[in-house]
Amino acid sequence: MISLVAQERLLGFALGSGLVGAAVLEQRRAIHRSMTPQSPPAGSVEPVRRRRPDDIEMAHIWNRAVDRALAPLIAALSSRGW
């Protein structure tokens, strides 16, 4: 049988991975919800196409979202001198 310490570590890893995965998924959904589709010019008959952000723009949006999500953790670690 696997030791109790190893079981606790595996459980912690599984729960942590699930929590981080859920947080990342929610951040990605929030980013995609925040992007509004381009509105067509008045009288246009073309279907509305969503503009895909450039890679650099998407990277900036992602970095801001991660900074906002992890700001409390960074502040707590910084206050302890890590």
Q: Which amino acid is at 48?
A: V
Q: How confident is the model at residue 43 (pLDDT cuts 50, 70, 90)?
A: low
Q: Read off the pLDDT of each residue in 35-55 and give the average, rounded to a whole number.
A: 63
C-beta of residue 48 within 8 angstroms of C-beta of residue 38? yes
Is the four-CA dihedral 46, 29, 74, 71 of positive or negative sign? positive
Is the four-CA dihedral 8, 9, 12, 14 of positive or negative sign? negative
Residue whose token pair is 């929610």:
26
Q: How confident is the model at residue 24 (pLDDT cuts 50, 70, 90)?
A: very high
Q: Among residues of the chain, what percentage have pLDDT more than 90?
A: 29
Q: Which amino acid is at 26?
A: E
| pTM of the model as a whole | 0.40
> What percent helix, strand, coil does the chain show, rounded to 5?
70, 0, 30
